[in-house]
Chain A
Amino acid sequence: MELLREGESLEACLERYPEYRERLRPLLEIAQTLEGRQPEVAPSPYFLVELKSKLTREKHEGR
């Protein structure tokens, strides 16, 4: 999995572990898809500005 993350191809990874090839392939295919294609999300700009303002203005009330 680390090799995939470092940019090595799926086939190159499998060639390193031929004895586990058939077991590894389906898992690495899933990992490869998860690694590169996660949908991105973002908070609203209003939220970002409001929270930044709150964090940098409020007096810290120690508990």
Chain B
Amino acid sequence: MRRSSLQKADDRELIAGAAKGDREAFGALYERYVFKVFRHVYYLTSNLHTAEDLTAQTFLKALEAIHRYEMRGVPFLAWLLRIAYNLTVNHKKVRNNGTAPLPEAVEVQGILYSPEASCEAKADGQRVWEGVRTLRGDQRQVIVMRFVDGLSYSDIAKVLGKSIGAVRVIQYRALSALRRRLEDDLGHYYAKSRAG
């Protein structure tokens, strides 16, 4: 397939081609999803280099296993994120550090805000996302999949091997915990926002 046709092809076509050994088809899938996989891993590891390493491992494993991917199962992104999730968990076990924080600050190399974001919005978002890094593992995982990756509850449930109800409960607890922590740390800020 030529590059232009690869870019227009849907996932199903590309996956079928990649499963038959078409490396260009797999390359097109890579281009389509690499940023999402990287973002997911970065939000769980807090480290750009680790995120790059785990992203590379994710795609190499996906290349090996793509012939086993089932079209009727989870969406391809969810399948990739499940690989990434397992690699991240193993990485943390090796490092004996299951509580790796999310980014300390958002103003580090490689991090960009969308141009339309106002300075105030940046500050608000930063506060909340700094709170996310204090969440326990499963809560942070669900928040990242929901708000960074944009996955549905159904797909999150498939990635984590949990029921949809369980995912909703984890999200509820995560948001509650996040709210309590932010109110403790930033009571004046939220009191002001409520008044406004």
Binding site for B on A (CB under 8 A): 1, 26-27, 29-31, 33-44, 47-48, 51-52, 54-57, 60, 62-63
Report the Cα distance A61→B179, complex, angstroms. Answer: 49
Partner-contacting stretch, out of B72-80, B84-92, B113-121, B158-166: B113-121
**Closest CB of chain B to A39's CB: distance in Å?**
4
Inter-chain contact A41/B128, CB cutoff 8 Å: no
B138 close to A (CB within 8 Å): no
Which 10 pairs, one residue from A and one from B, show the smallest C-beta to C-beta distance? A37-B125, A39-B106, A34-B147, A56-B27, A56-B23, A33-B128, A27-B175, A43-B38, A26-B179, A41-B42
| Chain B interface size, under 10 / 10 to 19 / 20 to 34 / 35 or more | 35 or more
Bits for B103-127, please: 1 = Cβ < 8 Å to A, else 0.
1001000111110010001101110
Inter-chain contact A52/B113, CB cutoff 8 Å: no
Interface SS of B by simple majority: helix
Q: What would 15 more interface pairs be, CB under 8 Å, given A30-B128, A41-B42, A43-B48?
A: A26-B179, A26-B183, A34-B147, A36-B121, A38-B129, A38-B147, A39-B103, A39-B112, A40-B112, A41-B51, A43-B35, A44-B110, A51-B59, A56-B27, A63-B64
Inter-chain contact B125/A42, CB cutoff 8 Å: no
